[in-house]
A and B are shown apart, each in its own frame.
Chain A
Amino acid sequence: GESVGLHLPTLSVQEGDNSIINCAYSNSASDYFIWYKQESGKGPQFIIDIRSNMDKRQGQRVTVLLNKTVKHLSLQIAATQPGDSAVYFCAERSAGGTSYGKLTFGQGTILTVHP
């Protein structure tokens, strides 16, 4: 879930396990959600997105689930690898605004994968 203060949530898993990273969003009017991965000292990279008219979307080794009732978003990573170690951010876009990618980001979750 989202963190409070300066301490990010952390998730430690063994290589090969499945990982689930959670995100609670605040705006019930948000219509579009994205997951980003950020490695140390680098910019965030797009992982997967989902629109509010969907509950689930699958990519390669990743699945995003959206529960609008409780305003919850999750990212599932199958067969987690050491290269998946990074900070993962969810982002939401409020409906009714522009469609130019003006997003609100969560504080992030640190994923550590142990060999």
Chain B
Amino acid sequence: DGGITQSPKYLFRKEGQNVTLSCEQNLNHDAMYWYRQDPGQGLRLIYYSQIVNDFQKGDIAEGYSVSREKKESFPLTVTSAQKNPTAFYLCASSRRSTGDVDTGELFFGEGSRLTVL
């Protein structure tokens, strides 16, 4: 079945360590996104990529890095520079709009919960 797969589902990190969260999609979507979700809050955009080998900072990119070497994959690295990394991280993808077909609908993965010890 088509979808978005995030791994790991749970991750524990010591302070000062970098960690990488995986996101893979087989929906043939051009655009991919990383969001951060904190308790009681909405989703905040970290990074997004509209096409392979290109990505843009979102609203809270500091302390994070991404790469988009393949259409299917958009890994997120949480670096030691991120001061408060404990959160639920969500990866999403969407189709590129073509002609009259235009949707902003995002398809989300199941999320990765990162806890800093």
What A residues does B46 contact at CB under 8 A?
Answer: none
Say yes or no: B106 contacts A7, CB within 8 Å: no
B97 in the interface, Cβ–Cβ < 8 Å? yes
Residue of A8, A43, A108 touching B90 (CB-CB under 8 A): A43
Residue of B30, B40, B44, B104 touching A34 (CB-CB under 8 A): B104
B92 in the interface, Cβ–Cβ < 8 Å? yes
B102 in the interface, Cβ–Cβ < 8 Å? yes
**In whole Å, how far is A49's beta carbon from the nearest beta carbon of chain B?**
6
Majority secondary structure of chain A interface residues (helix, strand, loop or mixed):
loop
- Total count of chain B residues near the partner, CB < 8 A: 31
Say yes or no: A107 contacts B41, CB within 8 Å: yes
0/1 string, A78-92, CB within 8 A of B gives 1: 000000000001010
0/1 string, A95-115, CB within 8 A of B gives 1: 000111111011110000000
**In whole Å, how far is B27's beta carbon from the nearest beta carbon of chain A?**
12
Q: Which of B1-54 contact A (CB under 8 A)?
A: 4, 6, 30-31, 33, 35, 39-45, 48, 50
A18 in the interface, Cβ–Cβ < 8 Å? no
What B residues does A36 contact at CB under 8 A?
Answer: 108
What residue of chain A has the Cβ atom nearest to residue B30's Cβ?
A: A100
Say yes or no: A7 contacts B31, CB within 8 Å: no
Residue of A41, A46, A99, A106 touching B107 (CB-CB under 8 A): A46
Beyond known contacts A41-B111, A46-B107: 12 more, CB 8 A cutoff: A5-B40, A7-B40, A41-B110, A41-B113, A43-B90, A43-B110, A44-B90, A44-B106, A49-B104, A99-B97, A100-B30, A100-B104
* 15 CB < 8 A contacts A-B: A5-B40, A42-B110, A42-B111, A43-B4, A43-B108, A43-B109, A44-B90, A44-B108, A46-B105, A100-B94, A101-B94, A101-B103, A102-B104, A103-B104, A105-B35
Give the interface of A toward B (CB within 8 A).
Answer: 3, 5-8, 32, 34, 36, 41-46, 49, 89, 91, 93, 98-103, 105-108
Pairs A-B, 6 closest by C-beta atoms? A101-B94, A43-B108, A99-B97, A6-B40, A105-B42, A100-B31
